[in-house]
Amino acid sequence: MCICILFWLTILAGVIWLVNLIVRDIAINRENPTFRLHSATVSLLNNASASNFTATWDVTLVASNPNHKLEIYYDTIQATIFYNRGNSHRVRVLLATKPLPPPLALRTRAETTCSFRIEAASAYIGDDVAKEISEGRARGMVRFKLTLLAIYKLPSWYWKDPKLFKASCNPVEFGFSPDNWIGTAQSSQCKGDGDLSRL
């Protein structure tokens, strides 16, 4: 009899805990961090080849915390540049990757800017990709993809485990003037790919 009562009390306590957790999440309405591409330039080496692709991207991002009740604390952010083959967003070539100094803790409804440089030095990309990039520059437009992989924490009273989050700025369109090897991109919103911690 006592064991049966203890069992049902344990079940009841678990249900109460779960209900409280759900109610708390609804009340807080947690949102993932957001990123926006503020500005970017790319400098391409004018004698680039399949086995010697060199480029430099200077990027400024705006990191935002959309939450009303939760601060965000970043541990790490990794930036990666891809080139999408043709018009496909699935066939892509990795060009450069770099860990970034994470921004300071973001208070609720706050944002901060993050500027960085990422380089590809003498990277092998293949003849077809080198040709596509060169022809795109000659036509006045080259599209790259910027992805951000971030590990961040929330206040310990709410959630103790780190969260993994991915955002994609795709495509980032760099415009080139005739006979110019430096391209400029306009501001655009980066799309969040959700909370990867649950995968």
What's the mean pLDDT in 151-178? Answer: 93
Which segment of 4-18, 70-84, 142-156 scores lowest on mean pLDDT?
4-18
Q: Report yes or no: 92 and 82 within 8 Å, Cβ to Cβ.
A: yes
Over residues 78-103, the mean pLDDT reads: 87
- Tokens 């692709």 correspond to what residue? 53
Question: Which position has the token pair 């249900």?
Answer: 15
How high is the pLDDT of residue 197? 65
Write the pLDDT tens digit of every residue in 169-198: 999 999 999 989 999 999 999 999 767 665
User: Quick one: average pLDDT of 36-52?
Assistant: 87
Whether the per-residue pLDDT at 93 is higher than 80: the answer is yes
Q: What is the mean pLDDT of residues 127-138?
A: 92
Q: Which residue from 121, 81, 86, 79 is spatially nearest to 101, judged by alpha carbons?
A: 79
pLDDT of residue 88: 58
In degrees and rounded to multiples of 5, residue 121 shows phi and psi of -120, 115
Distance, in Å, from the CA atom of 64 to the CA atom of 60, rounded to the nearest integer, reads 13
Pairing of strands 34-44, 188-189: antiparallel
How many Å apart are CA 76 and CA 131, to the nearest integer?
35
Q: Spell out the SS3 assignment of 20-38.
A: HHHHHHHHHCCCCCEEEEE
Least confident among 4-18, 95-109, 152-166: 4-18
- Is 80 exceeded by the pLDDT of residue 23? no
In the chain, helix, strand, coil percent, each to 5?
20, 50, 30
pTM of the predicted protein model = 0.83
Q: Which residue has the higher pLDDT, 160 or 73?
A: 73
Q: What is the mean pLDDT of residues 13-31?
A: 64
Per-residue pLDDT, averaged over 154-168, amounts to 92
Residue 150 CA to residue 65 CA, distance in Å, equals 13
Q: Radius of gyration over alpha carbons of the chain, in Å?
A: 22
pLDDT computed for residue 199 by the predictor: 46
Taking a C-beta distance cutoff of 8 angstroms, is the pair 19, 50 a contact? no
Return the pLDDT at 160: 86
